[in-house]
Amino acid sequence: MDAERAPEDDACVIAPLRRRATPPSWRWGVPALPLLLPLLLPLLLWPLAVTAWTAVAAGPEGTPILDAAAIARRLAISSGQATLSTLLALALGIPTAYVLAQIRFPGRPLVRFLAALPLVMPAIVVAVAFEVALGAEGWAGRLLARAGLEPAALTGTLWAIVVAHAYICVAIVVRPVTDAWAHLDREQEEAARLLGAARWRVFVHVTWPMLRPAVASATALAFMFAFTSFAIVLLLGTPAYETIEVTIFHLALTPGPPSAAAAALLTLVQFATAIVVLPPGAPLHPAAGVRRAPDAAPVPTTPPPTAPPPAGERRHRGMPLD
């Protein structure tokens, strides 16, 4: 009788044992939160409060190192130049991604390599190159001289920072958008064209919704790169365009607890901005959310039915005739 017992019976016997061995659910800890919060909140908020108070308190000369207006000004400059750099990178990167993903031409692998080259270049090298090129003795000053204008250095302006950031951010945009555009599901686009939709309607209503996740992730990464940039702003900018990252650098060189607290406070502001731009769980894969073309259907491996043997062969094998 035991040998004839079905396997389902063993599963029914083991299942209660497994349920008893399972650890208690996390929901049992919810009633304990009101008891733990009064103990944990002071431990978390006390260092932040001390840091903020020390940063905005009076310094050695009797004036506060940072105030709300200074923090807002640094945040506005950092966000503004990062936004302009990202928009310029998108305006140049999306058409470049379309050419690299949809058009076949000789030397396309080389162009894709050159488009991704700024990603591996140190930012200090890019900053020095733009400082030499946009200086009064660089090619920009020579073009102004040939045009009959007075040569002037373009460094120290907001647009020099934006162009240098966009040079690197274009590569951040081109790489993921190109990969996503090359693996789109073409059936929906072809169906829209067969129904008489114009090319711009196909792009707006079919292609763009499939590309939007990849573009969004590339936009967030490009913005955060320009927002946290240091070397480019330090070399090409002036104190009027000092960002949060450069301010943290100058405060770190100033001895004293107030300067260190101000640098820590700006770091927290920078971290909070990163949480807003890159929320936890946001898709940052190059083709995140992109609907890819379905794989080809598997070829059936079932052999075709064979014809019945002749009547003589059946009789020879002892099989009855129909």
Residue 196 vs residues 185, 203, 254: alpha-carbon distances, Å: 19, 13, 67
Local mean pLDDT, 10-residue blocks, the chain (322 residues)? 51 49 52 66 67 62 67 89 95 93 88 89 89 76 69 76 94 92 82 81 84 91 92 88 88 78 81 76 51 47 56 51 48
Do residues 119 and 104 make contact, with C-beta atoms less than 8 angstroms apart?
no
What does the buried/exposed string (b/e) look like for 260-269 if buried means 16 or more CB atoms within 10 Å of the residue's CB? bbbbbbbbeb
Dihedral of CA 41/44/46/49: which sign? negative
pLDDT at 240: 86
Give strand ranges (E) for 27-104: none
Torsion angle, alpha carbons of 109, 112, 117, 120, to 10: -90
Distance CA 230, CA 214 (A): 26
Q: Provide φ and ψ at 293, rounded to 5°.
A: -70, 135
Do residues 266 and 251 make contact, with C-beta atoms less than 8 angstroms apart?
yes
What are the tokens at 240?
């009027």
Distance CA 226, CA 169 (A): 8
Distance CA 220, CA 282 (A): 10
Distance CA 115, CA 161 (A): 20
pLDDT at 93: 94
Distance CA 61, CA 149 (A): 46
Amino acid at 162: V
Do residues 228 and 267 make contact, with C-beta atoms less than 8 angstroms apart?
no
Residue 121: closest CA among 164, 80, 154: 164
Domains observed in the chain: 82-238 (1.10.3720.10)
What are the tokens at 190?
């072809």
What are the tokens at 83?
């936004």
Residue 156, SS3? coil
pLDDT at 164: 93
Distance CA 163, CA 236 (A): 10
DSSP string covering 245-273, please? HHHHHHHHHS-SHHHHHHHHHHHHHHHHH
Residue 101: closest CA among 210, 198, 205, 194: 210
pLDDT at 298: 47
Q: Is 121 left (phi over 0), alpha (psi -120 to 50) or beta?
A: beta
pTM of the predicted protein model:
0.69
